[in-house]
Amino acid sequence: MKWERLGRRTTLGIAAGVAAFAATAALALTQGGGADPTALPLSSLSTLGHLDPAAAAGPLGAEGVPIPAGAALGRARVLTTGEQIDGITCQAGEQVLFHIHAHLTIFVQGVARQVPAGVGIAPPYQVEATPQGPFVAGAPCFMWLHTHAADGIIHTESPIERTYTLGDFFDIWGQPLGRTQVGPAHGTVTALFNGRVFTGNPRQIPLLAHAQIQLDVGRPLIAPEQITFPKGL
C-alpha cells in the first residue's frame, strides 16, 4: 500500500526555477531546492510578546504526524482532471521529479484546526484504512500540491523544479489567505516560518523542504508547533 511505501520514497531533483514574489524583498533561489531562508522577511519571536504553549499533540495519523484535535478549517475544492490553478495541473498519477514536504499548523483564536485530507486531489478518493487512520491513496488526478491525511503535511510532487508558495496551496484548497483571513476565519494573521515571524504576506511563504509553517488567526498567539518529519517525508 502507498502509505507503507512512504519510507522508501526519495526527494529527487534540485529546485532551480525562479519564483517572483511581490514583497519587500525578492525571495532568492538557491541550488538547494528552494528560496534562501536568509532572504525571507523574518523577525524574532520576541517581537510577538507572550505566547501560549501549544496543547498536547494529537494522535499520530497515517503518515506518522499528529492529527490536530480541532475540526477541519474548510472543505477542499472539488477538482477535475486537467484543471489548472496558478499554473499547477491536476494530472493522473503523482509527479515525483521534484518531491518535498512541508508542514502547516493553523490556530484560530488559540484552537487548532485541521487542514483536511484530499486537498489538491480529485474525487472519488481511494482511501486506505491504515492502523493509524485514513490515507487518501488514489484518485483520478492529483495537483502538484496536495494532502493525503489531515495532519498538515503538504506534499509537493511536481514534474518541474519550482518553488511553490502557501498562496498556491490555498488557491488549490479553494480557501482565501491573506494578512486578515485564513479560510473562513477572519482576524489578524500571525505567520511563523521555522520558528520565526514571517513579516510579509503569508501567501508568499515558500513551501521549502521540511518547512514548519504556522498561521495564528487572532489571539491568543500560540508558541510554534514543531513536528518531527518521519523517515520518508
Q: For 23-64, how does the pLDDT look when each residue is reduced to its tens digit (9 = 90+)? A: 333 333 332 345 666 699 999 999 999 999 988 888 999 999
- What Å distances lie between residue 169 and 30, 31, 33, 99, 102, CA to CA? 21, 23, 18, 15, 11
Does any domain span residue 53?
yes
The pTM of this model reads 0.85
Tell me whether residue 201 is in a domain: yes
Q: Domain for residue 178, yes or no?
A: yes
Does a structural domain hold residue 228? no
Q: Considering the domain boundaries, does residue 222 fall inside one?
A: no
Q: Quick one: pLDDT at residue 37?
A: 64
Tell me if 227 is assigned to some domain: no
Q: Where does residue 103 rank: exposed (0-12), middle (13-18), buried (19+ CB within 10 A)?
A: buried
231 located within any domain: no
Residue 230: Cβ-neighbour burial (10 angstroms; 0-12, 13-18, 19+): middle
Cell of residue 96, nine digits: 515525483
Q: Which domain holds residue 130?
A: 2-217
Point out the residues of the chain with pLDDT beneath 50.
1-33
Cell of 31: 541550488
Q: Which pLDDT score, from 0 to 100, does residue 5 have?
A: 44
| 217 vs 109: CA distance, rounded Å | 6
Q: Using alpha carbons only, what angle is made at residue 131 by residues 172 and 231, rounded to the nearest 5 degrees?
A: 65
| Structural domains in the chain (count) | 1
**Domain membership flag for residue 223:** no
pLDDT at residue 34, rounded to an integer: 55
pLDDT of residue 106: 98
